[in-house]
Structure 1
Amino acid sequence: MCESVNSDVAKQKFDDFVDATQAYLDGVVVYGNDQELFIASYLTGHFSLVGSNALGLDDYSLAALNRYMLESLEKAYANNEVQGQDQVQVSALWQRLFVEADVLA
């Protein structure tokens, strides 16, 4: 029973993080400037894919989600999908969203 409760808590934290992150990224469409919109849109693509993969694996660990996200971004950077300051801004936004979620958890 304890394992089931821990699993339920982890899934709830995961779901809350996904919802809050998606709400923030969606809000950039309304309130962000062109650069913020670009960065948020780019991050949204990776976040949607990584989140879906985590759900498919029944892996509700925020630490694992962060690891998957960082791996996805590193691959994209290695393929020169975004460069320079855009890379810095994408990584900074992800780090900020993840750290804020971890602090609130």
Structure 2
Amino acid sequence: MALAAFNDYVQALETVFDQAVTEGSDDELFASGYLRGHFDLVVAQLELNDAAQTSAVLPAVQASVDHAKHELAPADMVHIQAMLQRLADAAAQAEPTS
């Protein structure tokens, strides 16, 4: 996959975070900020490892969150999962067609 298509995909998902900042509740803002860190790290790792595939982004973000979920209260995890679903919905629309 061309890096340009990967970057377009990433930018489309970043709008979910941006929207939470401008329009979200306090809980959505927290979830957005928390996930943004995981998302940015995953994207950077994929790019550095020459593995910039759109299909790898969300599973890697989910794995990162699962690895760190002991840091979160159950109530916070509910908001994180809701934000992950919003990302998945945006990803389905942003996935490049071959």
- TM superposition score category, shorter chain reference: 0.7 to 0.9
Could you say which residue in structure 2 is the equivalent of 1:99? 89
Q: Bigger radius of gyration, 1 or 2?
A: 1
TM-score by length of 1: 0.77
Could you say which residue in structure 1 is the equivalent of 2:64? 72
Question: Identity over aligned residues, as a percent?
Answer: 32
Structure 2 letter corresponding to 1:87:
M
Match of residue 17, structure 1, among 9, 13, 22: 9
Equivalent pairs counted in the alignment come to: 95
Q: CA deviation at 1:67?
A: 2.1
Structure 1: which 5+ residue stretches go unaligned? 1-6
Q: Does 1:34 align with 2:7?
A: no
TM-score by length of 2: 0.81
4+ runs of 1 displaced by more than 3 Å?
none
Structure 2: which 5+ residue stretches go unaligned? none
RMSD over aligned Cα atoms: 1.7
Q: CA deviation at 1:84?
A: 0.9
Could you say which residue in structure 2 is the equivalent of 1:43? 35
Structure 2 letter corresponding to 1:63:
S
Query: In structure 2, what is the Cα distance between the partners aligned to 1:92 and 1:12?
Result: 28
Change (3 A) 1:48 1:19: same
Q: Deviations over 1:50-80 (max 9, x none)?
A: 1111111111212222221111011111xx2
Query: In structure 2, what is the Cα distance between the partners aligned to 1:31 and 1:99?
Result: 18
Q: CA deviation at 1:104?
A: 4.0
